[in-house]
Amino acid sequence: MIALYVIVAIIVVAGIGLALSYNRFVSQRQLIRNAFANIDTELRRRYDLIPNLVETVKGYAAHEREVFEEVARTRSAAAATSGQSPAAQAAAEGPFVAALSRLFAVAENYPQLRANQNFLALQTELSNTEDRIQASRRFYNANVQDYNRRVQAFPSAFVARSFGFKEEEFFEIPSTERAVVGEAPRVDFGFREGGAPSGGGAGAPAPAPATPPMPPTPGGGSSGPAS
């Protein structure tokens, strides 16, 4: 009888452990999907900013048609991957951010554009959006890493295989393009209102010249003022 109780207790404990592991897999998978949805939302926000940015640059550099066409083409291709796998979206992001970098390089050649308030506002919004994209990407990848580790590790790997939990894809951009993602929306155009250079050189008062020593008087005395 005691042996029967032990067997039943083992089965109950194993069942509880199985249920807990399964529920954790479900929660982790849902968290990954929500995290990826946040990336997609921020990517769409950036796609929506680009047409206004292009139109603003066109007002000063209308002859840069090739750059505008490249931005439009790569933006459409990247937006078309929405809802697809993380690998597909990350692959489409590379050419798009490279084209966006070229657009900012064009803008750098036009001082009046760099001072345009609409352009500056779009640049700021694009930079903030880029920060949110990178934060969402890091959060997503961290959750994928934890989930994939459980898919591979024992004994949770047994639950994963039994119920069809498979490894998830990371949202990774090649290193040569990650730099563009981080730099393109943050191009520093060096604009200073009023044209004043940075640093303290222009406004700092000049140091007072040192007072030259008084020449000695004949006889070795001093010609300084009498006390």
Domain-embedded: residue 196: no
Q: Of residues 5 and 18, which shows the higher confidence score?
A: 18
Domain-embedded: residue 72: yes
| Identity of residue 17 | G
Tokens representing 60 are: 């000063």
Domain-embedded: residue 19: yes
Write down the mean pLDDT value for the chain. 80
Domain-embedded: residue 227: no
Domain-embedded: residue 167: yes
Domain-embedded: residue 160: yes
Of 12-26, 143-157, 201-215, the poorest mean pLDDT is in 201-215
| pLDDT 10s digits, 97-148 | 999 999 999 998 999 998 899 999 998 999 999 999 999 999 999 999 999 9
| pLDDT 10s digits, 93-106 | 989 999 999 999 99
| pLDDT, average across residues 157-182 | 75
Domain-embedded: residue 62: yes
> How far is residue 187's CA from residue 126's CA, in Å, rounded to a whole number?
11
Question: How many domains does one find in the chain?
Answer: 1
* pLDDT of 8 strictly over 50: yes
3-state SS class at 204: coil
Helices (H) then strands (E): counts for the chain: 7, 0
pLDDT recorded at residue 175: 56
Q: Of residues 59 and 173, which shows the higher confidence score?
A: 59
Nearest Cα residue to 152 out of 168, 132, 136, 131:
168
- DSSP string covering 108-165, please? TT-HHHHT-HHHHHHHHHHHHHHHHHHHHHHHHHHHHHHHHHHHHSTTHHHHHHHHT-
pLDDT recorded at residue 15: 87
Q: Which domain holds residue 183?
A: 2-190
* pLDDT of 153 strictly over 50: yes
Domain-embedded: residue 226: no
> What CATH number has the domain bearing residue 54?
1.20.1440.20
* pLDDT of 5 strictly over 80: no
* pLDDT of 225 strictly over 80: no
| pLDDT 10s digits, 25-57 | 999 999 999 999 999 999 999 999 999 999 999
